[in-house]
Structure 1
């Protein structure tokens, strides 16, 4: 059977990470499924799939660099910036605590294509439910929200520790449920991704450091660069899209994708493996 070169697998997975990280369709789920198709499922691959998230994080930091620099410089002098930073920290804490407590369990038992497929379908149904029962938008921008809304969105993000749920999907849908406008919910999801993904990446790479060596650098570099470029394009496109579209298309995509994975597994057409 033909085996793709490892660098090509890294390129494909980097593109998948960048395209899916900020869409409500689960980047982790897609990486697990695509990694299974590419037969890149060893222990090192799990570290790679986490590490390339740094490329997507850098894309957010670059696109929102003026705001992030403004927050950093105004943290001690401007109430608006202190409130923004406090809200991001509050929203980040639930996922951080859950990750520290259940890191090993989640990685051992839930990182498999069939579990992800089920979560994709359930998450798609939740998106349809939220979109068809809209709540009035009480907060038009990220700066309008209080610590209560930040905590609620943070709790929603914690649910996405289950692979396939989608961190972006949980935070955006949570934001809509708790009264944020589409743009505010989407931008909050972007900002919240920075500490959440950075912490998850650093923690995972540290825990798995024995699996890494200098020879792996080209593979990680290709995945990182591909994720950065793909994420830049996706973030810009998503902000344009949410201004006058619902997220239902992503719900139907999730449901269809999940059913395909489950169907091919049931019929034996594809031998899905961890």
Structure 2
């Protein structure tokens, strides 16, 4: 994978990881359009590039993440992430198979956009406006909503934010809790892709993610460059998204998903 391709994909990751538009879908489409070789390294890179975006949340909300006097904050995140860890482990192989089906992902992108068009009208009069007011029951339910994002194209951010709004969280509170929940969720996914999963099942060469990185210096440079760029872009995107969400709601993101999804459906069905 060329450095220019790495930078472009990292920008896409940083922009879309915390927006309700599916970073997985956008990275897959971008890689396809750039004609990046869909090998084991790229598959691993798509997951592990989230590390930079994870660090962006920790830096943006460092007072929250390093407030060790508020242990309930950590306990709520642990409770919320358990459903994703359990179901992600059970359905990992199925998820990987869907990742290669661009038609299916484009379709989910459109359907998710339709849901976002109505999300603001469905969830009115929130009663919870800060993380401290979120109960353990709320956190676990949001965690189950997050599991919907296991279907590529759904968007982890969209699923967990809407899950929060079903629990009477305001848009801002739901978005911020979604950001917080992303940290343990994506840490687990990144750690699994780097240290536990053997990429290349069914082939003669099977390597764990870190083994691919250590195989040559170029792979390591691509990994580091991608995560630095995704970190910087995500840092800006996080704060910008909160402001836009408060001002405009979900409808612009819904229309964006529908338009992009339809364009990609045409592209992959008739052109690709």
Equivalent residue number for residue 148 of structure 2: 159
Report the CA distance between 1:265 and its aligned residue. 2.5
> d(CA) in 2 for partners of 1:109 and 1:250?
23
Equivalent residue number for residue 53 of structure 1: 50
> d(CA) in 2 for partners of 1:230 and 1:159?
25
Equivalent residue number for residue 120 of structure 1: 109
Q: Is the partner of 2:122 in helix, strand or coil? A: coil
Equivalent residue number for residue 245 of structure 1: 248
Report the CA distance between 1:176 and its aligned residue. 1.4
Counting matched residue pairs gives 257
> d(CA) in 2 for partners of 1:25 and 1:159?
14
- Kept in 2, the 8 Å contact 1:130–1:177? The answer is no
> d(CA) in 1 for partners of 2:212 and 2:101?
20
Please, which of 91, 95, 101 is the counterpart of residue 80 of structure 2? 91
> d(CA) in 2 for partners of 1:122 and 1:178?
22
- Kept in 1, the 8 Å contact 2:23–2:155? The answer is yes
Report the CA distance between 1:109 and its aligned residue. 3.2
Please, which of 6, 11, 31 is the counterpart of residue 7 of structure 2? 11
Please, which of 18, 23, 27 is the counterpart of residue 22 of structure 1? 18
TM-score by length of 2: 0.91
Equivalent residue number for residue 64 of structure 1: 61
CA deviation profile, 1:72-127 (whole Å, cap 9, x unmatched): x22xxxxxx23222211111111111111111221123443212101111111111
- Correspondence 1:254 to 2:257: yes
Q: Structure 1 stretches of 5 or more lacking a match?
A: 75-80
CA deviation profile, 1:172-221 (whole Å, cap 9, x unmatched): 11111220011100100110000000100110122131544233011111
Q: Is the partner of 2:189 in helix, strand or coil? A: helix
Q: Is the partner of 1:265 in helix, strand or coil? A: helix
Equivalent residue number for residue 203 of structure 2: none
Report the CA distance between 1:35 and its aligned residue. 0.8
> d(CA) in 2 for partners of 1:257 and 1:188?
27
Equivalent residue number for residue 77 of structure 1: none
Equivalent residue number for residue 134 of structure 1: 123
- Correspondence 1:106 to 2:79: no
- Kept in 2, the 8 Å contact 1:31–1:49? The answer is yes
> d(CA) in 1 for partners of 2:123 and 2:94?
35
Report the CA distance between 1:44 and its aligned residue. 1.1
- Kept in 2, the 8 Å contact 1:156–1:170? The answer is yes
> d(CA) in 2 for partners of 1:111 and 1:204?
17
Q: Structure 2 stretches of 5 or more lacking a match?
A: 200-207
Report the CA distance between 1:6 and its aligned residue. 0.8
Aligned Cα root-mean-square deviation (Å): 1.4
> d(CA) in 1 for partners of 2:83 and 2:141?
10
> d(CA) in 2 for partners of 1:21 and 1:250?
13
Please, which of 246, 254, 263 is the counterpart of residue 266 of structure 2? 263
Report the CA distance between 1:129 and its aligned residue. 2.4
